[in-house]
A and B are shown apart, each in its own frame.
Chain A
């Protein structure tokens, strides 16, 4: 050590630092230690345009500052993103991933070491909607869901929010009948409750009996949660539109292949959609008018003012099968919407902020904004370019993936 003055100096500095850190953990001088700065990249904020050559400061896992000409604190850990694209981590509005565990109580069986967590990080996905169970038989409501983050190895920070929607199904005649009946019961109950409360009629309020099995429906009517349903054809979609005419509830619809046919109705009822631009469906030859799938689905919905999230054909992580059809190529799916006429900005929103809003976590993720979780990805090109790779993935300000150090793609390079 004596032969290397530089090293010994560093050693002494470390020692002093260690002592100081031990002595005054709350010392403001060392608050800077926890600051991470990402500098030099083009910041695709999603919500406020692109900031060229911008800087992001991260403190306590949140974005604390963002913009050009931001002074980087001396002791900050600096990530150089010059020439790169910096954007919020991707959000997928639906997924079937092993890291969500096998239990209906999602929080009780999360697996932060599942390979799907590391593949999500490598794919730039930092927020994932997962659901377990669902409506079955004549019961139109059921199952649980949650939004999770692939915080590899860290169980504590995995769960973002439980119960972000109420899974429902109107696809069977019995199910639909029960759904409407219970919804009407809940509606009647709420009306009476409000009436008696307004009249301050304590006696009647006490006598008012809540029918059993309508708690979920009350939550829907109070708009605490959206109902999440599946509807593929225009007829099925219009069925739901009609239901919303009767009951003013928030609705998310998965698999809305023919939504473009009834885009105006969907927009008018503020229904949120989860779509897959590449999904195929033959036109129905037995009906007149438009039907079937089109690559223009997203573009038409956008023009009508519908909010939607985009998910790929197979919402899982697979290292086998046909490449580019699963979550490992989520931006590719959005790029296909661009092929069908959608603008790039909306396509980006459909896998970030809009997806986050639809799954109820837009207050925390989905854009680069001060106060939001520092879930950030750094890309070596435009997100919709097929050559682009995720180089770095941060969740809550922590680097959880580095392409150069991971076995997945570190061997792949492009000679421009």
Chain B
């Protein structure tokens, strides 16, 4: 929390300072409908953007004289999509054991000049939680929050060390590796050692801890392992049969990241809507694409639409692709919805985002148009 507040203050301060320095750079978007996610749908909405941030939003807002006006009547504005857990554009993970690799940072393997980043923009993605990967299980390192634009790694980075990544497996070696690393960091709260600090931050809940996990059995082992670490802000990424322990996850208030897809109940041909099952159980979910391929990102909204068609609440589905993943990455103070003070990351759509025929016509990141449909 402390860190977040500091960032908010800092950003407000920076905004304030930069206004007189740079000439008035105001953009105004006028659209039929603005899907804010956190404060409902605004008809005939106006969004005022200054220095990349939303300074005003509503239907009855004064438009500054000097503003560039983007008039997209008949269109719907929606926040840019947030993918909370991805290794898009990164090479396959290096081999690793179960020892703690907390000092590894995913930003050090970032490589901006890739076509895939341009192409995911067209699919509506403006934010990624990028995570370090290791071939084995254990503490994998520090994840980052990035935007898929920019020529230098620094230009892509939103938050450099935004989360701790753990790959969990229910076996003695992995458990001991994770436990001993966390326990050894417990009393070193002032340490600046790059191998310790991220663990301390995670233990104190200053940064979220993303944990990938196998099936429901593994989840039970994981919950047992996490028992002593009460402050930790755990986010679980589990994509098989996690609904079998939904009650336990709901009780512990652990949010879950899962792929958007209709599943089969194992060993049967019965279709199940797992995101719906989890939300019915009271679990906060974030939906991601089925993989890191461009195809998976392009299919994503169609998959979410299908989940809604088969019972997932539409409003929950919209949150699950915007504000929920932003919360899980602890960047909801500036991303994930259209609100005053937040980054102007938005999509201009031909209709409701979860209607099958809707097209993405324009994508904006921090007030800049980064994609325009031909």
Contact = CB atoms under 8 A, between A and B. Distances in A.
A113 B215 contact: yes
A388 interface: no
B314 to A, nearest CB: 31
A130 B276 CA distance: 37
B171 A102 contact: yes
A112 B171 contact: no
A101 B171 contact: yes
Interface of B (DSSP majority class): helix
14 contacts: A101-B217, A105-B172, A109-B169, A109-B221, A110-B170, A110-B217, A111-B170, A112-B217, A113-B217, A113-B241, A113-B245, A115-B266, A319-B267, A407-B268
B153 interface: no
Contacts of B220: 112, 155
Contacts of A105: 171-172
Contacts of B170: 101, 103, 108-111
Interface in B222-247: 224, 241, 244-245
Contact of B267 (A101, A104, A108, A115): A115
Interface in B154-185: 169-173, 175
Contacts of B171: 101-103, 105, 108-109
A285 B175 CA distance: 53
B355 interface: no
Interface string B260-302: 0000001110000000000000000000000000000000000
A371 B229 CA distance: 39
B218 interface: yes
Interface in A284-336: 319
Contacts of B217: 99, 101, 110-114, 155
B133 to A, nearest CB: 21
B198 to A, nearest CB: 25
A153 interface: yes
A247 B241 CA distance: 51
Nearest to A155: B220
Nearest to B216: A113
A108 B172 contact: yes
A99 B216 CA distance: 12
Nearest to B241: A113
A153 B266 CA distance: 15
A319 to B, nearest CB: 8
A90 to B, nearest CB: 22
Most chain A beta-carbon neighbours within 10 Å: one of B215, B221, B245, B266: B221
A111 B244 contact: no
Most chain B beta-carbon neighbours within 10 Å: one of A111, A114, A153: A111
Interface residues of B, number: 19
Nearest to B220: A155
A46 B241 CA distance: 39
B172 A113 contact: no
Contacts of B216: 113, 153
Contact of A104 (B172, B215, B221, B224): B172
Contacts of B266: 115
A118 B220 CA distance: 17
Given A101-B171, A102-B171, A108 B221 contact: yes
Interface in B63-112: none
A109 B215 contact: no
Given A104-B172, A108-B172, A111-B217, 8 more contacts: A103-B173, A105-B172, A108-B171, A109-B172, A112-B220, A113-B216, A113-B241, A407-B268
A280 B244 CA distance: 42
A293 to B, nearest CB: 35
A253 B89 CA distance: 56
A108 B220 CA distance: 11
Nearest to A115: B267
A102 B169 CA distance: 10
Contact of B221 (A102, A153, A155): A155
Interface in B201-220: 215-218, 220
B215 A103 contact: no
Nearest to A119: B267
B172 A111 contact: no
Nearest to B176: A108
Contacts of B169: 109
A263 to B, nearest CB: 41
Nearest to B223: A155
A104 B174 CA distance: 12
Nearest to A102: B171
A103 B174 CA distance: 10
Contacts of B268: 407
Given A108-B221, A111-B215, A153 B172 contact: no
A105 B169 CA distance: 13
Contacts of A101: 170-171, 217
A111 B218 contact: yes
A108 B175 contact: yes
A70 B28 CA distance: 83
Nearest to A111: B217
Contacts of A155: 217, 220-221, 224
A101 B171 CA distance: 8
Contacts of A102: 171
Contacts of B267: 115, 319
Nearest to A407: B268
Given A108-B170, A108-B172, A407-B268, A113 B221 contact: no
A112 B215 CA distance: 10
Contacts of A104: 172
A112 B224 CA distance: 14
A391 to B, nearest CB: 21
A105 to B, nearest CB: 4
A318 to B, nearest CB: 12
A290 to B, nearest CB: 45
A102 B245 CA distance: 21
A281 to B, nearest CB: 35
A103 B172 contact: yes
B249 to A, nearest CB: 14
Contacts of A109: 169-172, 221
A109 B174 CA distance: 10
A29 to B, nearest CB: 29
A255 to B, nearest CB: 28
A379 to B, nearest CB: 24
